Structure 1
Amino acid sequence: MVKDARTMASHAPHIPSDKRFIIFFDFDETIVDETSDDQVVQTAPGQYLPDWLKDTYNPGRYNEYMQRVLGYLAEQGVTESDMRAVMEKIPATPGMLTLFQFLRTRPQTDFEVVLVSDANTFFIESWLRRTGARGLFHRIFSNPATFNKDGRLMLRPFHSHDCPRCPVNMCKQVLVREYVTRRMQERGRPYQRIFYVGDGANDFCPATALGPRDVVFARRDFPMHRLIIETHEATPGEFKAVTVPWANADEVVQRLRKHVAE
């Protein structure tokens, strides 16, 4: 499965190696103000899933559950255009489009922008292209999703890993570590800082790998933020990155302005 992830990365366009910073974004409830997997249920008959299907979910195996959900939707006649229409209507989180505009208008040497999400490539690409934000991202790492000849959206796991904290199909810390290591080898030098913008428990795992010069933008009062607070209280000094809670992404812009001015 790891081979799939690396193949996806290798097929992406060339990235200039002169960026000062790298900034990672989660998608669900970070870039968009909903969870895309929940929103696709709006395409189901009656806009809900039957209990027998919901009862098949097993903790840590959400990707497998979503494969069954997408199969059910296909059986109910839900089309690619139905799903895309729902994805395109998901609202951005407050201030996120302002943050995107800030990143777009920075000099080319400032930010390498990467998306890491446990959603899927079809949902993410649909939303980004509708909002005109696709070109901002140098890489998108998510679970591969493509339509087969019968019109069913086929979802696959991103990779396999050994992290006990994360769902079996994706550990964002493994992803972030491998990507940053590879990019630093290509560049021949480190980034000045790494930024990470997220909200969920699966965003906490990669954040623990960041250093004291790096900055984690944790959506205020969401699981990632609560886990960081709990870690600081239980084991002071273990979580090393600077934490900046945010409710509106304008707060992220304000902090980034300070760092680019250094």
Structure 2
Amino acid sequence: MDKSLVVFDFDHTILNDNADTSVFNLISNKDMARKLWDQYEEGKWTEFMNKVMTFLFESQISYDEIKNELISLPLVPGMTDVLEYLGKNPAYDCIILSDANSLFIKTILEAKGLMWTVNEVITNPAEVESSGKVVIQPCHVHSHSTCPSNMCKGTLLSQLKQKKGDNYYKKVCYVGDGSNDLCPCLQLSSNDFAFPRIGYKLEKRLQCIMSSEKGKIHAQIVKWESGSDILNVIRTL
């Protein structure tokens, strides 16, 4: 059977929000929240989120409270239909490739009844320690200087395809929204599809490259607003 690979970012792609930043809703002292934000350094998101988790722990905010915040977040309209279609169809492998973390993604997908639809989640490992504190580890080490220090999605997608063999997937679809989704999109072939969410950074980055260096983009570009836009194309593969 010919198989296709469908890769999703998570925040603002499957989830219509950002799981990591949603936990700031639990911080009642907005001055403290702003001071926390001031500690963020570009490209060091995982280190920053560990500082946030330490602050929540020291503020006696439990993981149950974090969990309740996470499961209240909505999915992108139509995304449930996309994931269920892929989960029921053996012609597709469905992968999440996200700079969030394993604990938050699993918590949300299980609450929505969608964990079964996903073959693999590639992200920053996270767990609740016996003390009750959430600790997040960087996903991997890489040498691509234009990507965040803890994750190069292009490298991870390349490794995933190599593991399966060069011709295992007849097509690759990459669905995303952010700047860190550009790297994997640049390695897609003319047989593949890049799905940038309309109005988000990935769409703008792709447009800039297509205006100035069109030869760098080989994939077919399908802009989307809801899950139905994605599903309409996937059904034709």
TM superposition score category, shorter chain reference: over 0.9
- Residue 221 of structure 1 is matched in structure 2 by 199
Check if 1:128 corresponds to 2:109.
yes
- Structure 1: runs of 5+ lacking an equivalent: 1-17
Letter in 1 for 2:140: H
| 3-state SS, counterpart of residue 154 of structure 1 | strand
Counterpart amino acid of residue 30 in structure 1: T
Contact 2:9–2:98, Cα closer than 8 Å, also in 1: yes
Q: Distance in 2 between matches of 1:19 and 1:135?
A: 21
- Equivalent residues of 1:36, 1:123 under 8 A apart: yes
- The structure 1 residue matched to 2:147, chosen from 147, 151, 166, is 166
Rounded to whole Å, the distance in 1 between the matches of 2:97 and 2:72 is: 21
Structure 1 contact 120–143 (Cα < 8 Å) conserved: yes
How far residue 49 of structure 1 moved from its aligned partner, in angstroms, is 4.1
CA change 1:210–1:49 in 2 (3 A) is farther
Deviation at 1:57, TM superposition (A): 1.1
Note if 1:209 corresponds to 2:192. no
Identify which of 120, 129, 134 aligns with 1:148.
129
Contact 1:115 1:139 in 2 (8 A): yes
Cα separation, 2, equivalents of 1:53 and 1:248: 33
Q: 2:224 is matched with which residue?
A: 246
CA RMSD after TM alignment: 1.4
Secondary structure (helix, strand or coil) at the match of 1:212 reads coil
In the alignment, is residue 53 of structure 1 matched against residue 36 of structure 2?
yes
Secondary structure class of the residue paired with 2:159: helix
Which residue matches 1:196? 174
User: Does structure 2 conserve the Cα–Cα contact (< 8 Å) formed by 1:118 and 1:142?
Assistant: yes
SS at match of 1:245: coil
Deviations 1:202-259 (A, max 9, x none): 0111110110000011101211111111000011221111110000110111111111
CA distance in 1 between partners of 2:39 and 2:29 (Å): 20
Report the counterpart of residue 118 of structure 2 in structure 1. Answer: 137
- Is 1:95–1:249's contact at 8 Å kept on the other side of the alignment? yes
Task: Check conservation: 1:24, 1:116, Cα contact below 8 A.
Answer: yes
Q: How many residues align?
A: 237
- In structure 1, C-alpha distance between the alignment counterparts of 2:151 and 2:32, rounded to whole Å: 25
- After superposition, residues 88-103 of structure 1 pair within 5 angstroms as 88-103=71-86
Distance 1:160 1:22 in 2: 24
- How far 1:104 sits from its partner (Å)? 3.0
Shift of 1:46: 4.2
> What is the TM-score with the length of structure 1 in the denominator?
0.87
Moved more, 210-219 or 96-105: 96-105
Deviation at residue 43 of structure 1 after TM alignment:
2.0
Please, which runs of 5 or more residues in structure 2 have no aligned partner?
Answer: none
Aligned residue for 1:157?
A: 138
Aligned amino acid, residue 182 of structure 2: F
TM-score normalized by the length of structure 2: 0.96
Percent identical residues: 27
Which secondary structure does the structure 1 equivalent of 2:10 belong to? Answer: coil
C-alpha separation in 2, matches of 1:103 and 1:183:
18
2:233: which partner in 1? 255
User: Shift of the alpha carbon at 1:103?
Assistant: 1.7
User: What does residue 232 of structure 1 align with?
Assistant: 210
